[in-house]
């Protein structure tokens, strides 16, 4: 059962952090270079809508599996890197909630109204927050690996 929980946990991290890497480093720069705003912004809004569903599922999987692994050990006896991972994960979840519930609806409204400056401004804010979460996600992976083998 513990192996299945670890698999679920790592699969969720791969989807979330890997998806942010792909979107931030691969998809958006190419879309920005090759497509004008009336084509780029609807594409990115649609891609993010699908990605955010996968991230929400991943967050549930990560938190549920992480807590299931931690509960038998107990918070007081859990290694410090587990606490660090949990803290970083909760901060990342808060940032994701801000993106998905605050910034993304603005992007969709801008796209629907064909208000490209407003949609572009929302996309730029999303991009910055995704970069923040990508850095936090990479840091969490480093903490997990170094903490496990320290």
Q: What is the pLDDT of residue 22?
A: 98
Query: Whole-angstrom Cα distance, residue 148 to residue 86?
Result: 14
Q: What is the pLDDT of residue 149?
A: 82
Query: Whole-angstrom Cα distance, residue 66 to residue 116?
Result: 41
Question: For the whole model, what pTM was predicted?
Answer: 0.94
* Token pair recorded at residue 53: 């569903």
Q: What is the pLDDT of residue 118?
A: 98
Task: List, for the chain, all residue ranges whose pLDDT scores fall below the cut of 50.
Answer: none
Q: What is the pLDDT of residue 25?
A: 97
Query: Whole-angstrom Cα distance, residue 94 to residue 63?
Result: 13
């Amino acid at each position: 059962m513990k192996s299945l929980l670890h698999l679920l946990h790592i699969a969720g991290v791969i989807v979330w952090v890997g998806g942010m890497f792909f979107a931030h480093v691969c998809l958006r720069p190419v879309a920005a270079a090759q497509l004008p705003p009336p084509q780029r912004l609807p594409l990115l809004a649609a891609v993010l809508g699908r990605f955010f569903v996968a991230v929400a599922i991943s967050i549930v999987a990560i938190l549920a599996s992480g807590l299931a692994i931690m509960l038998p050990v107990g918070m007081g006896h859990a290694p410090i890197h587990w606490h660090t991972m949990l803290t970083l994960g909760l901060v990342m979840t808060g940032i994701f909630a801000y993106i998905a519930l605050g910034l993304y609806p603005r992007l969709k409204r801008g796209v629907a109204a064909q208000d490209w400056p407003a949609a572009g401004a929302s996309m730029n804010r999303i991009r910055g927050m995704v970069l923040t979460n990508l850095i936090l996600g990479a840091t969490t992976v480093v903490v997990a690996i170094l903490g496990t083998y320290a």
